[in-house]
Structure 1
Amino acid sequence: MNGVFDLGGTDGMGKVQTVENEPVFRAEWEKAAFAMFSNCFRAGFFGVDSFRHSIEQMEPADYLLSNYYEHWVHVVESRGSAKGVIDLAELEQRTKFYLENPDAPLPRREDPELLAFVDAVVKSGAPANRPTDKVPRFKVGDRVTIGADSPRGHTRRARYIRGRTGEITGAHGAAIYPDSAGNDGPEAPEHLYTVRFTAEELWGPETAEPNNTVYFDVWEPYLTLAS
């Protein structure tokens, strides 16, 4: 899937603004957005890859003009509505109520199991490694080329690596395949590799910075041995 979210190598987007000692949350509502993600992930609204795909389906202008946690709220609304657990009309009414009554107390619910889940995931993550009977087709040191086609739906094959050739520097076993799981398919684990590309291979000799390299994690179906 090609879209405005695939920004690697894109020109004209302006300088990346960095903030020294940036806070984890810039506003109180972002804390609620983080909590909603954890709750909905636990409830089965989405996995990490389908979560990303839902963000990719935002209107391009909305995507570019909204911030990180606004993207998260969009996913909760869209996935919740699609699964029939969020009524968008009711959500609109509640939003209007709190805009008109900003000091009104928010609903509260105690959920010790959710807090324990969030605490565990924040500290340890949610590993994507999965067992598989598939024998890896590639090994460290192989030179490989990334498929140049444009997949439909969700993929982790960024545009700027398509058709490019690099060297495998790491083999990580099998992991959830985003091109399946992100499109509401099964986890379908595939072997995962780290590939090193030279800047010249990615950007061309005229524009690449000398001696630079880029490392990118890719799944086995993306790869063929370089001729």
Structure 2
Amino acid sequence: MKLQHTLGGLQNLGPVNVETQVFVEPWEKRIFGIHTAMMAESTHLSGALPQYPVAGLPTTFRNTWTWASLRTGAEGMQPFEYFKYRYYEKWLMGISQFFIDEGYLSADELNQKIDYYRANPGAPLPNQPNPAIATQIHEYLTKGDSPLRGLTQAPRFAQGDEVRVADPDAVDHTRLPGYLRNKPGKVDLVYPGAFSYFVSTGPDGIGDPMPVYRVSVDAAEIWGKEKSEPNTTIYADLFEAYLQPSN
């Protein structure tokens, strides 16, 4: 598994960042807005339960972009490069590389823009208001794109069942926290309905809609008794593919 997914319990990674501000620098708000606009224009919305007019949007963006796309780009970084940069710096690099890879602009064009704004920090940024896209973004933020779906079969586990978290092969993107792999736990809650993810994770197990469970794990099972506060329980929402019977 990738190092940046196994931070729980690892030593010598330096002090914990206790920054409480969501956006530390003004540009971070802008990159969050770009990411949100990309999701609201993403082609995957054509299959969402809300009836989004994706085909008729006045945009040249014709790709799928979801949270999975953002995370896959960040997780593809060399682990120690990953630790070097701030949170939204990783967003910026992932989104920039996506636009280059998909041919929306070249690396040279991006570098020219960077050089221009470094030399002219007060220059106005592009501003092309688009009411249709603004409406789409508002609708997307209100209605979302991951609807609850009906189950095709009963959940494999019930509340109170003893389980063990799976340890599947590492893939490009996972929703399984590394520190929970192969740990024993108990099903605390079975969420109603079934849930899917934006992309299939292949050998990792996420694809078709499936049950999701809230699983409780004794903190001492994760970090050891000597490094855990007494009577501390960790709760995690896990797809059914990530759970196995305890025996």
* TM-score normalised by L of structure 2: 0.79
Whole-angstrom CA distance in 2 between matches of 1:224 and 1:23: 38
Among 201, 206, 221, which residue is 1:201 paired with?
A: 221
Conserved? CA contact 1:3–1:56, under 8 Å = no
Conserved? CA contact 1:199–1:213, under 8 Å = yes
Whole-angstrom CA distance in 1 between matches of 2:206 and 2:230: 42
Q: Give the letter for the 2:210 counterpart.
A: E
SS of the equivalent of 1:214 reads strand
Q: Quick check: 94-103 or 147-156, which moved more?
A: 147-156
Among 38, 41, 64, which residue is 1:40 paired with?
A: 38
| Structure 2 unaligned blocks of 5 or more | 43-63
Whole-angstrom CA distance in 2 between matches of 1:121 and 1:178: 15
Describe how 1:33-182 pairs up with structure 2 within 5 A.
33-44=31-42, 45-122=64-141, 126-127=145-146, 129-172=148-191, 173-177=193-197, 180=200
Question: What's the RMSD between the two structures over aligned residues?
Answer: 2.6
Conserved? CA contact 1:154–1:178, under 8 Å = no
The one-character-per-residue Cα deviations of 1:142-183 (angstroms, maximum 9, x if unpaired) are: 111111343322111222111111011112232124671699
SS of the equivalent of 2:236 reads strand
Give the % identical residues.
32
2:16 is the alignment partner of 1:16: yes
Whole-angstrom CA distance in 2 between matches of 1:223 and 1:118: 36
Q: Which runs of 4+ in 1 moved over 6 A?
A: none
Among 25, 28, 39, which residue is 1:27 paired with?
A: 25
Whole-angstrom CA distance in 1 between matches of 2:206 and 2:182: 27
SS of the equivalent of 1:195 reads strand
Whole-angstrom CA distance in 1 between matches of 2:199 and 2:156: 19
The one-character-per-residue Cα deviations of 1:73-117 (angstroms, maximum 9, x if unpaired) are: 122112222222232221111111111111222111112233334
Whole-angstrom CA distance in 1 between matches of 2:185 and 2:153: 23
Whole-angstrom CA distance in 1 between matches of 2:151 and 2:105: 36
SS of the equivalent of 1:206 reads helix
1:93–1:155 Cα change, 3 Å: same
Offset at 1:33? 0.3
* TM-score normalised by L of structure 1: 0.85
| Structure 1 unaligned blocks of 5 or more | none
Whole-angstrom CA distance in 2 between matches of 1:77 and 1:181: 23
Q: Give the letter for the 1:190 counterpart.
A: M
Paired residues, what number?
Answer: 224
Offset at 1:34? 1.1
